[in-house]
Structure 1
Amino acid sequence: MYEVKIATSEQEREAAFTVRKKVFVEEQGVPLSMEIDEHDQTSSHFVVYDGPKAIAAGRIRSISSEVGKVERVCVLKEYRGQHLGVLIMNALEEHAKTTGIHKILLNAQSYAIPFYEKLGYGVTSPEFMDADIPHRAMEKQIDLSL
């Protein structure tokens, strides 16, 4: 049984960083200096666990009182295809609602655009490069009344 938790301890934050390093740094070749950034201190981090093992992560940060940005969503390679991305995105969106955020922005790696479109996100930019990986900006309006 998988469990999504918001990181409330340094140990849980480190678990999120470990997953991110495996996916983005080791697997995709993103420099560590770009992966761990100044926004990590002010973001809310989420971790998906399979028992004691951290297997997926993501973060959300406030851009303004009503706009948030989802970043660093990732799932360990051996756990992909099990809808963990949906699980973590739902947790990030629920957190956004509780903090009054009604619009979420994100920069999706281009191959992941269909995944985010299925969750209701729309593309808002032409393709651009980030860490030598093609991306497109996306956004979604969040209904706070639900």
Structure 2
Amino acid sequence: MNLSEPGAATSQQIRPAEGERDRAAVFVIRGAVFVAEQNVPVEEEWDSRDTGADHLLALHGGVPVGTVRMVVEQQGVGLLGRLAVLPRARGTGLGKSLVRAVEERARERGLRSVQLHAQTHALGFYESLGYVAHGEEFLDAGIPHLHMERDVS
């Protein structure tokens, strides 16, 4: 069911991914978006940083439909990454809500800024949320990216 269809559940929730079931949902969503859709090799998608990261899970009508992670990269800086929203939930504002939830988590942890590595096709999305690109374009999993940052203090 498309989330914008009449009769679709309207309740949206973003919360920390806790427990095995939530973690499995995070990896299923990321696998569907990055591995299946974008052809990112599975060995590059899941990494050692997943263990210590803060993972957030987005639910729509109680069903997991999106995820994002934050890694504390250095003192005072959180790295937003692995933002993934299933196709049926795209265009609903869920991506924006996930980014804002990471920013709130960063503030709770006393961090001053959030950085991310944006796929170049998504620059406008992040710029609309106040992120500023800097540096040279680089490839990650064969996909062009740019560094971006936003002060959240």
TM-score class normalised by the smaller sequence: over 0.9
- For 1:94 and 1:6, the matched residues in 2 are separated by 12
Query: Displaced runs of 4+ in structure 1, greater than 4 A?
Result: none
- For 2:50 and 2:139, the matched residues in 1 are separated by 21
| 2:29 is the counterpart of 1:19 | yes
Which of 125, 135, 138 aligns to 2:148? It is 138
| 2:21 is the counterpart of 1:6 | no
One-letter code of the match for 1:87?
S
- For 1:78 and 1:111, the matched residues in 2 are separated by 19
Q: Could you tell me which residue of structure 2 aligns to residue 53 of structure 1?
A: 63
Report the TM-score when normalising by structure 1.
0.95
After superposition, the CA RMSD in angstroms is 0.9
User: Which consecutive residues of structure 2, in runs of 5 or more, have no partner in the other structure?
Assistant: 1-10
User: Which consecutive residues of structure 1, in runs of 5 or more, have no partner in the other structure?
Assistant: none
- For 2:148 and 2:98, the matched residues in 1 are separated by 17
Greater C-alpha radius of gyration: 2
Superimposed CA distance per residue, residues 26-68 of structure 1 (whole angstroms, 9 cap, x where no aligned partner): 0000011000100000000001012232101100010123111
Whether the 8 Å contact between 1:65 and 1:100 is mirrored in structure 2 is no
- For 1:78 and 1:51, the matched residues in 2 are separated by 13
Number of equivalenced pairs: 143
1:13, CA displacement in angstroms?
1.4
1:99, CA displacement in angstroms?
0.2
Q: Could you tell me which residue of structure 1 aligns to residue 128 of structure 2?
A: 118
- For 1:13 and 1:51, the matched residues in 2 are separated by 18
Report the TM-score when normalising by structure 2.
0.90
- For 1:134 and 1:64, the matched residues in 2 are separated by 24
1:126, CA displacement in angstroms?
1.7
